[in-house]
Amino acid sequence: MSIPQITLYGLPDIPRVRAGDDVAQLILEALKRAELTLLDGDVVVITHKIVSKAEGCAVRLTDVEPSPQAIALAAETNKDPRLVEVILRSSRGVVRQREGTLIMETRHGWVCANAGVDRSNVSGPEGEIALTLPEDPDASARRIREKLLAATGADVAVIISDTHGRAWRLGTVNVAIGVAGMLPIADLRGQTDMFGYTLRVTTVARADELAAAAGLVIGQAAEGLPVVVIRGAAYPRGDGRATEMQRPVEKDLFR
Amino acid sequence: MSIPQITLYGLPDIPRVRAGDDVAQLILEALKRAELTLLDGDVVVITHKIVSKAEGCAVRLTDVEPSPQAIALAAETNKDPRLVEVILRSSRGVVRQREGTLIMETRHGWVCANAGVDRSNVSGPEGEIALTLPEDPDASARRIREKLLAATGADVAVIISDTHGRAWRLGTVNVAIGVAGMLPIADLRGQTDMFGYTLRVTTVARADELAAAAGLVIGQAAEGLPVVVIRGAAYPRGDGRATEMQRPVEKDLFR
């Protein structure tokens, strides 16, 4: 009997990414080494960290001059004023603040801790580094998709992911902050569920489900795999943007 | 080259579930038909709908007598008073209300629309049905896990899932509302990330990632597959409860 099946492959041996690197090229080389061929309908999920690094989004904190606003907000939340300066530059504004916590709306419109800015705590010649989100993750996803398509001929979707906390649930999950070659939301209106009932839930955040699934492979640790290929998943094709998943402020009950 | 790999299998031909059915037995029979053998470390994700049905959580709306509170809340939100009565019985209280929308805290402590109550709009001899969440999804997961373990000898984790909306993101994703044989949250404290930095994010909602991944298979539609077997995913073993993922009210910035 044929069983419906989805497979996730973690691409091994993606090298450490530097500013200026071509992420699509690194993926193509890793695919070749892994003897994995992209197929039409595959989804390539990429953690934003390597995209941010390639796009030069690493900021040395010693180079950052905090503004008076950053200094005040850092004092209120007990954070590093230089880090808060980087967060503020990445943000439209503060959604919630508390000791040790800054929930921000990013420039792109995502609501998340620290505007998605990751901080290293390596102390080396570079000093401490803050890594911001890509300038336009949807555009990053489109560029990578076009290169993968040109090189392989495979009509794949690309997702750029980040790990977000949730309002009422502990722990983070991977979510999509950029997509290409797909619509982020699957619209199931008019379909019936497995009991023959018309669906109450009509929109599924397919891009977030795909990103969360990839999170199982990506991990967060030393052996992390920053690129995951998902094969066999159904998703709506099209020229979508991850930002279509942002709940409009006028429909937001929790801001 | 060996590639890290996770596979999701949708179990075909799970029959329509009725009150009193043994969900573990239905799964065992479907596994046999599919010629799929459970292995140690597999995760069995089950949509709550079939667990709720088996546990007799279907309520005929014609049998429901709405309380004065339900009638008032129904008028304020433009909902069916009988449905609101079922929602209130399933809840600790209202988190947010608006025309057409009721965000509730369920008896178990989950924050979600309509306290997780699904409404059919089938008109048949039974009339309209409201399906509530299982009484104790963690206990349901444990019962099913014990039966699967006894029958197969495989030390699997079991997740009961539901589809939830999110505060700032459109579309639903599958989340875990019951677990057994695992800890819902993976604690990565002290580990370093792929760049050698100590992790900023230290807790990952592994059970929710697994549930979201299963959501890619489960679907919401007629061809839906209510049970998914996930093979090859790393997760913390242990005697955990999904309710451990509930953010304590005193740490909740959005209520």
pLDDT in tens, B194-245: 555 555 557 999 999 999 999 999 875 555 689 999 999 999 999 999 999 9
- Number of Cβ within 10 Å of residue B145's Cβ equals 21
B1: pLDDT strictly greater than 70: no
Contact B196 A222 (CB under 8 A): yes
A1 assigned to some structural domain:
no
Query: Among all chains, which residue has been given the structure tokens 């919401």?
Result: B220
CATH code at position B169: 3.30.1330.100
Of residues B111, B175, B216, nearest to A6 (C-beta) = B216
Cβ–Cβ of B199/A193 closer than 8 Å? no
CB A217, CB B4: distance < 8 Å = yes
Other C-beta atoms lying within 10 Å of the C-beta of residue A149: 17
Residue % of chain A over a pLDDT of 70: 90
- Among residues A131, A155, A188, the one where a domain terminates is A131
Shortest CA distance from B172: residue in chain A? A204
Helix (H, G, I), strand (E, B) or coil at A180: strand
Instruction: Identify each DSSP E strand in A123-253 by its residue range.
Output: 129-131, 157-164, 173-180, 186-187, 203-204, 227-231
A233-249 per-position pLDDT tens digit? 999 999 999 999 999 98
Query: Does one domain contain both A33 and A152?
Result: yes
CA distance B93 to chain A (A): 15
> Looking at the partner chain, which of B34, B53, B216 has a beta carbon nearest the beta carbon of A213?
B216
Q: Are residues B185 and B141 in the same domain?
A: yes
| Backbone angle region of A177, left / alpha / beta, with phi > 0 → left and psi within -120 to 50 → alpha | alpha
Residue B29, Ramachandran bin (φ over 0: left; ψ between -120 and 50: alpha; else beta): alpha
**Residue A173 domain-assigned (yes or no):** yes
- A235/B162 Cα distance (integer angstroms): 20
Model confidence over A186-223: pLDDT tens digits?
A: 987 766 655 555 555 579 999 999 999 999 998 755 55
Among residues B131, B159, B178, the one where a domain terminates is B131
Determine which of A61-70, B161-170, B198-207 has the lowest per-residue pLDDT on average.
Answer: B198-207
Q: What is the pLDDT of residue B124?
A: 55
Same domain, B117 and B239: no
Strands ordered across the beta sheet of A111-113: A91-98, A101-106, A111-113
Residue A141 and residue A124 share a domain: no
DSSP A116: G
Q: Which two tokens stand for residue B92?
A: 């600790």
Give A230 to chain B, closest Cα distance, Å: 9
Q: Specify which residues A44 forms β-bridges with.
A: A158, A229
Residue A95 included in any domain: yes
ipTM surpasses cut 0.90: yes
Determine the average pLDDT of the residues in B135-142: 98
Question: Same domain for B51 and B156?
Answer: yes
Q: Is residue B225 part of a domain?
A: yes
Interface touch A216/B206, C-beta < 8 Å: yes
The DSSP annotation for B140-179 comes to HHHHHHHHHHHHH----EEEEEEEE--SSB-SBEEEEEEE
Q: Cα–Cα distance between B252 and B255 in angstroms, integer?
A: 6
B224/A194 CB distance under 8 A = yes
Average pLDDT, stretch A116-137?
Answer: 81
The residue-averaged pLDDT of A67-93 equals: 97
CB-nearest to A120 from B197, B203, B224 is B197
The neighbour count for residue B40, using CB atoms within 10 Å, is 11
The pLDDT-based confidence of A143 (bands split at 50, 70, 90) is: very high
Residue A84 CB: number of other CB atoms within 10 A?
A: 26
The answer to whether residues A202 and A240 belong to one domain is yes
CATH code: domain of residue A97: 3.90.1660.10
Which residues does chain B have within 8 Å of residue A172's beta carbon, measured at their own beta carbons?
201, 203-205
Q: Span A79-85, mean pLDDT? A: 96
B188 and B91 within one domain: no
**Residue A232 lies inside a defined structural domain of this protein:** yes
Matching residue, tokens 């969900």: B23
Residue A148: closest CA among A25, A54, A16, A19 = A25
Q: What are the residues whose beta carbons fall under 8 Å from the beta carbon of B250, sequence distance 6 or more?
A: none
Same domain, A27 and A122: no
State the average pLDDT for chain B: 91
Choose from A29, A163, A166, A244 for mutation: most chain B CBs within 10 A. Answer: A166
pLDDT over 70 (residue A1): no
Q: Are residues A172 and A228 in the same domain?
A: yes
The total of structural domains in chain B comes to 2
Mean pLDDT taken over chain A = 91
Report the candidate in A176, A156, A181 with the shortest Cα–Cα distance to residue A237: A181
Q: Which residues of A touch B5 (CB under 8 A)?
A: 7-10
Shared domain for A237 and A150, answered yes or no, is yes
Which residues have C-beta within 8 Å of that of residue A1, sequence separation ≥ 6? B12, B33, B34, B35
Quickly tell me which residue has 């546990």 as its tokens: B55
Q: What is the DSSP letter of A198?
A: B
Q: Look up the domain containing B174 and give its range.
A: 7-57+134-248
**How many residue contacts between A and B have a Cβ separation below 8 Å?**
265
The two tokens of residue A240 are: 């979508």
A231: helix, strand or coil: strand
B255 found inside a domain: no
Three-state DSSP state, B94:
strand
Contacts by A91-97, CB closer than 8 A, 24 or more apart: A91/A115, A95/A255, A96/B253, A96/B254, A97/A73
C-alpha span between A183 and A188 (Å, rounded): 13
Residue B55, both tokens: 């546990």
What sign for the dihedral angle of Cα A79, A85, A88, A89?
Answer: negative
Determine, yes or no, domain membership for B22.
yes
Pairwise CA distance, residues B120 & B118, whole Å: 7
Asked if residue B8 lies in contact with residue B214, where contact means CB atoms within 8 angstroms, the answer is yes
Q: Which residue of B has its CA nearest to A10?
A: B4
Domain final position from B71, B101, B131:
B131
Q: Are A48 and A75 found together in one domain?
A: no
Question: Taking a C-beta distance cutoff of 8 angstroms, is the pair B137, B240 a contact?
Answer: no
Beta-sheet pairing, B101-106 with B91-98: antiparallel
CA distance A175 to A164: 7
Start-to-end Cα distance in chain A: 49
Indicate if the alpha-carbon torsion angle B71, B75, B81, B85 is positive or negative: negative
Chain A hits for B99, CB-CB cut-off 8 Å, are none
Kindly state the tokens that stand for A109.
Answer: 């419109």
- Residue A254 domain-assigned? no
Whether residues B105 and B159 fall in one domain: no
Distance, in angstroms, between B244 CA and closest chain A CA? 8
Q: What is the pTM of this model?
A: 0.94
pLDDT, tens digit, 9 for 90 and up, residues B68-121? 999 999 999 999 999 999 999 999 999 999 998 999 999 999 999 999 998 865
Identify the three-state secondary structure at position A139: helix
Q: Which amino acid is at A29?
A: E
Secondary structure (DSSP) of B20-44: T--HHHHHHHHHHHHT----TT-EE
pLDDT at B111: 96
Q: Do B175 and A169 touch (CB under 8 A)?
A: yes
The one-character DSSP state at A140 is H
